[in-house]
């Protein structure tokens, strides 16, 4: 098994900024009594606990493939809430949940229509789907990463994220009777443009890190920084616009 590149401390360097989309997505969910909930890509479980408590769910299961993340989840267990290490690509429940929730995880998987169909199969009648995916793949922080990866002979990561209107059509074809899909731009004020590198080290660059030796990844970071920073405004604070798609649908 390859090393786990996910570092909870690195990810949490921008804790408040990363949490806001979660709460915006949660606000779209309609609570119903005795919900059975699954959170796909639960990370450390801190926000899954918020999900569980705010919905007063009967049961909530948090799943994440990262050992480092799941190890942190023990601190966030509660009555009816449990966590397990599992690859969300293998999630294949049927008619099991009232809410399938996934915040900033589904974009790691290819073929988004197929993923949404698979998650839909896990819903009970009247169940809800709530998903947030980053859609910032055209920002220099992502474009430069792909270019530098090519220098190392690493296939660039191709984002599978669809346009908002495409998600709306997919949800309609899957038979949802109501839906809400929106593109939202979060403008983050970071200390400087250098923090843009620190941001993607906690997320996007983990995909390249797991495919490289430690020495190669260190050199990757040097080249990435050299090529990215001149493309960004040298201001303090640095304004980092980040696009995300939020969707919620009910069967």
Cis peptide before 237 (omega within 30 of 0): yes
| pLDDT over 60 at 29, yes or no | yes
The H or E element that residue 219 is part of is helix 214-228
| pLDDT over 90 at 151, yes or no | yes
| pLDDT over 80 at 104, yes or no | yes
The H or E element that residue 49 is part of is helix 46-54
Give me the percent of the chain exceeding a pLDDT of 90: 92
For residues 137-150, average pLDDT: 97
Give tens-digit pLDDT for 222-234.
999 999 999 999 9
Give tens-digit pLDDT for 194-203.
999 999 999 9
For residues 125-130, average pLDDT: 98
Task: Say what the pLDDT of residue 1 is.
Answer: 43
CA atoms of 76 and 234, how far apart (whole Å)? 39
Task: Say what the pLDDT of residue 17 is.
Answer: 87
Q: How far is CA 251 from CA 5, 116, 119, 179, 182, in A?
A: 36, 12, 12, 9, 18
Q: Residue 197 is encoded by which pair of tokens?
A: 């590198």
Task: Say what the pLDDT of residue 234 is.
Answer: 97
Sheet holding 238-250, edge to edge: 81-85, 59-64, 36-40, 97-103, 123-134, 238-250, 178-190
3-state helix, strand, coil in the chain (%, to 5): 45, 25, 30
Task: Say what the pLDDT of residue 10 is.
Answer: 73
CA atoms of 128 and 57, how far apart (whole Å)? 13
For residues 130-141, average pLDDT: 97
Angle at alpha carbon of residue 46, lines to 160 and 2, rounded to 5°: 50
Domain spanning 8-250, CATH architecture: 3-Layer(aba) Sandwich (3.40)
Task: Say what the pLDDT of residue 183 is.
Answer: 98
Task: Say what the pLDDT of residue 7 is.
Answer: 72
Q: Are 45 and 76 in contact (CB under 8 A)?
A: yes
Q: Are 78 and 47 in contact (CB under 8 A)?
A: no
Nearest to 97 by CA among 47, 54, 58: 58
Task: Say what the pLDDT of residue 111 is.
Answer: 98
The domains of the chain are located at 8-250
CA atoms of 188 and 17, how far apart (whole Å)? 7
Angle at alpha carbon of residue 201, lines to 86 and 189, rounded to 5°: 115
Per-chain mean pLDDT for the chain: 95
Predicted confidence band at 77 (pLDDT cuts at 50, 70, 90)?
Answer: very high
CA atoms of 129 and 77, how far apart (whole Å)? 23
Give me the percent of the chain exceeding a pLDDT of 70: 96
Q: How far is CA 181 from CA 29, 133, 165, 214, 249, in A?
A: 13, 11, 8, 40, 8
Predicted confidence band at 2 (pLDDT cuts at 50, 70, 90)?
Answer: low
């Amino acid at each position: 098994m390859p090393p786990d590149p996910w570092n909870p401390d690195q990810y949490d360097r921008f804790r408040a900024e990363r949490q806001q989309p979660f709460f915006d997505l949660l606000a779209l969910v309609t609570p119903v009594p005795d919900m059975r909930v699954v959170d796909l890509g639960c990370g450390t479980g801190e926000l899954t606990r918020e999900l569980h408590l705010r919905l007063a769910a009967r049961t909530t299961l948090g799943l994440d493939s990262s050992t480092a993340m799941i190890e942190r989840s023990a601190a966030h267990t509660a009555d009816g809430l449990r966590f397990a290490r599992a690859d969300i690509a293998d999630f294949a429940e049927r008619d099991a949940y009232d809410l399938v929730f996934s915040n900033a995880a589904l974009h790691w998987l290819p073929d988004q229509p197929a993923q949404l169909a698979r998650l839909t199969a896990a819903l009970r009648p009247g169940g809800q789907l709530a998903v947030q995916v980053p859609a910032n793949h055209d920002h220099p922080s992502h474009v430069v990463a792909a270019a530098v990866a090519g220098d190392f002979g690493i296939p660039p990561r191709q984002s599978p994220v669809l346009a908002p209107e495409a998600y709306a059509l997919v949800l309609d074809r899957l038979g949802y009777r109501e839906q809400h899909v929106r593109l939202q731009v979060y403008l983050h004020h970071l200390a400087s443009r250098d923090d843009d590198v620190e941001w993607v080290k906690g997320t996007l660059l983990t995909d390249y890190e797991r495919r490289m030796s430690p020495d190669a990844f260190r050199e990757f970071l040097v080249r990435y920084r050299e090529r990215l920073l001149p493309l960004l405004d040298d201001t303090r604070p640095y304004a980092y616009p980040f696009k995300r798609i939020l969707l919620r649908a009910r069967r």
